[in-house]
Structure 1
Amino acid sequence: MSQQTVLVIDDERDIRELLTITLGRMDLKVDAVGTVAEARHALGERSYDLCFTDMRLPDGSGQEVIELIAAEHPDTPVAMITAYGNVDAAVTALKAGAFDFVSKPVDIQMLRRLVRTALKLAEEKRSGAGAGSAATHSSDRLIGDSAVMQQVRSTIGKLARNQAPVYIAGESGVGKELVARLIHEQGPRATGPFVPVNCGAIPSELMESEFFGHRKGSFTGAGADKEGLFQAAHGGTLFLDEVAELPLHMQVKLLRAIQEKAVRPIGAREEVAVDVRILSATHKNLAALVDQSQFRQDLFYRINVIELRVPPLRERRGDVSLLADFVLRQLAAKSKSESGAVRLLPEARQALEEYDFPGNVRELENILERAVAMCDGDRIDTTDLMLPQRPPRQSADTAAAMHTHHHAQSGVTQLGSAPSAPPAPAPSSELPLDDYISNLERTAIMKALEESRYNKTAAARKLGITFRALRYKLKKLGID
């Protein structure tokens, strides 16, 4: 196998010599030049496995070099060398197609890790392996033949080939974490860890310890050293889900960790270098939060180098049927059903395709899991789906007059139609529809259980549902 080659472009002689020596010790052949013109000439003479370029050059900018390589040598990863703390330059370079960036003064260990990752990526690109095979392995989990989903899959493949931070935007339930996993799995970090963290689930006072770790005795209760999420994701990907939930004091610390590629555990004297790719997501409008001073603009620009929008399910209705069949097969496999997957009747399938799914794919999964429990046999009909029907806006008097009518029309609320069942409050802006339906179900089930002296079989018969459906609802509603 021929020796791999690296092109270094920097007008500072010391930097050129440092990189030449360091890369030479990694058994790499190095060509070092000091201008854009010399870089163009070198790139015209031979192909390189990796390129480093300074941002500012005597006869131009590193931006020109990045754009040239992206256009004429797309298989060559290029890393930008930036001044210490120059976030704007790094972001600009990543948006232009740079693989990653290195800050001056150059950290040798960080440089070596970057080189190994970049060379692995270049080799996979040229051989057609790695990202491609990972895509084949994983793409079946991102279900959908619609044009928008084909575009999402294509974009994931492109994003997997660099190290730029990606911001994944989309409503709750669209599958943002799955998209993040696919970006990780199809890239050169696939063998490293994928560490997802829900930023809204960590108490504010524990955030610094959770993200950066702590040393034994650094605070009350710190009985041993603990590594943080950044250290756990070293060599891989850290996925910051619901990043908008980060309090402002943690946004500052997170920005520094991303910029410096290092963290300082609580109680530690020195920083620890970390090699982590950052992917983030939220269902909120992050740009609007920046305008409202609820999210730092500098952090927003740093994590939002590239934005990938995942469409809601209502924008790809043609995929609903495929997704439904996939979910039903998964449920059958999970339950180890001998008869195979439960099937949708045509009218039930049509009802799903016409439904808006405010909860997106996650809501579809929940609806089908419930329907499998509710249906008789191996067929799901429209009533088994129990799709919520939001009532039209109306006055309080009209709502009261229509209360009984709503009970009669809803497949769910029929469970609450026992003559002596106490009325539940009509849904309002203060009481979401899901809570309203749950209250009706709970009232009807408790009434039936009391009347049947807690004989579940008799209670199910009284409610007009199967014993399996009642058992499912008892578990769902937390009724012991």
Structure 2
Amino acid sequence: MPTPQLTILAVDDEPNMRRLLEISLRQAGYRALSAGNSREALEIIQQQQIDLVLSDLHMPGMNGLQLLGTLRKVHEHLPFIMVTAQGEIKTAVEAMKLGASDYILRPFELETLEVAIEKALAIKRMQQENTFFRETQLPDVTGLIGNSPAMHSLKQMIQQVAPERATVFIVGETGTGKELVAKALHEASPRKSALFVAVNCAAIPAEMLESELFGHEKGAFTGAIKERIGKFELASGGTLFLDEITEMPIQLQSKLLRVLQENVVEKLGSNRQIPLDVRVVAATNRDPIQAVQEGKLREDLYYRLNVVQLQLPPLRERRDDIGLLADFFAGKRQQRLSEQARLCLQQYAWPGNVRELENILERAAILAGQQPIQAQHLPADISQHPSETATETASAAESNMLSIPRTTEAMEKRLITQALETCQGNKTKAARLLEISERSLWNKLNQYGLR
């Protein structure tokens, strides 16, 4: 049940619809206000704290789109949901581009309204958190923490590449921050005022990914009960980030190549071409050349994506940044590190890279309570003594375990095994803990014979 303090303003020129919206909102647990036109709505917003606006499209005088445009000049992040009639999908797309949080089609169920509101309010919370994070925590405009030579080189490349429209292929191990780099490219580009849309190709079932990317018309397939805007169309004017591109079905890659070459998209069930202005950034945690050889990535698509390639260094190759990152993550929880804990973090191999460091420090901060984080608050394989680490390193050198593929495989096996033990064999929970898709987890279980 949402908190009663949240106030939602319903704007509609029809008295019966206003009354219905007020009743529905109160049933959902919100404080409901109403306005009969856009001018009245603007006066209420100026006088009171409004958490979300729910507005009809067609109203005399200033319509819903004009109200949205006026609000965005003053209230950049005020959640706004547009109510439109069936067959007005073009107007809904325009509303989304102007900054609407969502749209719903008449007639709608109360549950549909509640879901749209909860989603819009969640997006607002994330925007507020991101704004705070960007303005008070990040040390530079790219949002990337690190002063090592590798990070200086990466930041310089981002600044050089960002103004261009050329596609970018980000290559890096799991947890190195590929999406953060993609966002940095977007924020440093002329497209920063438009949408940054991220799609994890491994997290979406193969049969749904095409519709997710390109959209579909109503009735295009069984279950297509209404028209859907694809991520390409939604990102037009901005940036589309395709994460884990090598997990995309090979037959869909050919359609993606055509979209990239012609800068147009066709929704499923339609032959109408929609022109696009999208900057595409793709990413993978695989060796892309090896992925091509294994048939995971079309060679022609690889060359189309690989106009500019950004290689993200693993954390073990920029140890000078570990202290900065550790202080940053600990500081987010108003914590600090003891020197002993800091030394342990510096000596660890970090197979899960920055993401692993963040998760471990979050756990350590919880265990430490109000005290500084000590070595005993870290996992046992991190808090071991320096002499033990040195012995392991020497042993690894003798057995050729300095081989990155072998070491990575061993670390992945250990992390997967630990996650499954922690989650008592539940694959869905283990995948969530490992921050990979369940499909990727099953692939790795088969690859390493851990099933």
| Same-fold call, TM cutoff 0.5 | yes
Deviation at 1:229, TM superposition (A): 0.7
User: Counterparts of 1:232 and 1:433 in 2: how far apart (Å)?
Assistant: 40
Taking the aligned partners of 2:338 and 2:139, their CA distance within structure 1 comes to 31
Residue aligning to 1:355: 348
Q: Which residue of 2 aligns with 1:204?
A: 206
Match of 2:159 in 1: 157
1:415 is aligned to none
What's the offset of the Cα at 1:289? 1.6
Amino acid at match of 1:205: E
Percent identity over paired residues: 43
Counterpart position of 2:362: 369
Q: 1:272 to 1:138 in 2, by over 3 A?
A: farther
The aligned runs of 1:13-32 (5 Å cut-off) are: none
1:285 Cα deviation from its structure 2 partner: 0.9
Instruction: State the SS of the aligned residue for 1:386.
Output: coil
Specify the alignment match of 2:381 in structure 1.
388
CA contact (8 A) 2:150 2:318 kept: yes
The answer to whether the 8 A contact 1:138-1:182 is kept is no
Q: In the alignment, is residue 141 of structure 1 matched against residue 122 of structure 2?
A: no
Over 3 Å counting, the alpha-carbon distance change for 1:137 and 1:326 in structure 2 is: closer
Q: CA deviation at 1:255?
A: 0.1
Give the residue type in structure 1 aligned to 2:414.
L
Q: Tell me the TM-score normalized by structure 2.
A: 0.55
1:433 — aligned with what? 414
- Cα-Cα RMSD: 2.8
CA distance in 2, matches of 1:293, 1:260: 24
Distance 1:192 1:442, change over 3 A: closer
Among 228, 242, 246, the alignment partner of 2:248 is 246
Cα shift at 1:146 = 0.7
Pick closer, same or farther for the CA change 1:192–1:476 going to 2, 3 Å: closer
**Deviation by residue 1:400-427 (Cα, 9 ceiling, x = unmatched):** xxxxxxxxxxxxxxxxxxxxxxxxxxxx
In structure 2, the CA distance between the partners of 1:263 and 1:147, relative to structure 1 (3 Å rule), is: same
Contact kept, 8 Å, 2:263 with 2:277, in 1: the verdict is yes
- 1:310 aligned partner: 312
| Residues 344, 383 of structure 2: 8 Å contact kept | no
Alignment of 1:28-47 (within 5 A): none
**Inter-partner Cα distance in structure 2 for 1:314 and 1:170:** 13
Is the contact between residue 176 and residue 310 of structure 1 (CA under 8 Å) also seen in structure 2? yes
1:231 aligned to 227, 230, 233, which one?
233
Offset of residue 155 of structure 1: 0.5
Contact 2:202/2:244, CA 8 A, preserved across alignment: yes
Runs of 5+ unmatched residues, structure 2:
1-134, 385-408, 425-431, 435-451
* 1:176-187 superposed matches below 5 A: 176-187=178-189
Q: Equivalences for 1:41-440 in 2 at 5 Å?
A: 139=141, 141-330=143-332, 332=333, 341-388=334-381, 432-434=413-415, 436-437=417-418
Query: CA-to-partner distance for each residue in 1:73-103, whole Å, 9 max, x for gaps?
Result: xxxxxxxxxxxxxxxxxxxxxxxxxxxxxxx
**Against the structure 1 CA distance between its residues 274 and 316, is the aligned structure 2 distance closer, same or farther, given a 3 Å change threshold?**
same
CA-CA distance at 1:269 after TM superposition: 2.4
SS in 2 for 1:177: helix
Structure 1 437/383 Cα, relative in aligned 2: closer, same or farther at 3 Å?
farther
- Is the CA contact (8 Å cut-off) linking 1:167 and 1:303 kept in structure 2? yes
Corresponding residue SS for 1:290: helix
CA distance in 2, matches of 1:174, 1:374: 25
1:193 and 1:235 in contact (8 A); partners too: yes
Q: Name the larger-Rg structure.
A: 1
Give 1:302 deviation, angstroms: 0.2
Q: Is the contact between residue 150 and residue 313 of structure 2 (CA under 8 Å) also seen in structure 1? A: yes
Q: How many residues align?
A: 267
How far the C-alpha of 1:437 sits from its partner, in A, is: 4.7
Q: Distance in 1 between matches of 2:170 and 2:339?
A: 35
Report how far residue 361 of structure 1 moved. Answer: 0.3
Specify the alignment match of 1:5 in structure 2.
none
Provide, for residues 310-333 of structure 1, a one-character-per-residue CA deviation record: whole Å limited to 9, x for no partner. 100011101101101111122x2x
In structure 1, stretches of 5+ residues that fail to align are 1-132, 333-340, 392-427, 444-474
User: What SS does the aligned partner of 1:197 have?
Assistant: strand
- The answer to whether the 8 Å contact 1:264/1:272 transfers is yes
Cα shift readout 1:227-273 (whole Å, capped 9, x = no counterpart)? 10100101000000000001111000000011010111011121111
Equivalent in the alignment of 1:109: none
The answer (yes or no) to whether the contact 1:143–1:323 under 8 Å persists in 2 is yes
Task: Determine if contact 1:390/1:433 at 8 Å carries over to the other structure.
Answer: no
For residues 321 and 365 of structure 2, what CA distance do their matches in structure 1 show? 20
CA shift at 1:390, angstroms?
12
AA matched with 2:345? L
Provide closer, same or farther for how the CA distance between residues 356 and 227 of structure 1 changes in structure 2, counting only shifts above 3 A: same
Q: In 2 relative to 1, CA 216–357 (structure 1 residues): closer, same or farther, beyond 3 Å? A: same
C-alpha deviation, 1:373, in angstroms: 1.0
The Cα offsets for residues 28-63 of structure 1, whole Å up to 9 and x where unpaired, read as xxxxxxxxxxxxxxxxxxxxxxxxxxxxxxxxxxxx
**Amino acid aligned to 1:433:** R
In structure 2, C-alpha distance between the alignment counterparts of 1:253 and 1:283, rounded to whole Å: 22
Shift of 1:440: 6.9
Deviation at 1:377, TM superposition (A): 3.0
In 2 relative to 1, CA 138–253 (structure 1 residues): closer, same or farther, beyond 3 Å? farther
The two structures have a TM-score, normalised by structure 1, of 0.52
When residues 189 and 476 of structure 1 are mapped into structure 2, their CA distance, relative to the original with a 3 A threshold, is: closer
Q: Distance in 1 between matches of 2:179 and 2:242?
A: 9
Name the residue aligned to 2:83. none
Counterparts in 2 of 1:202 and 1:139: CA distance versus 1, 3 Å: same
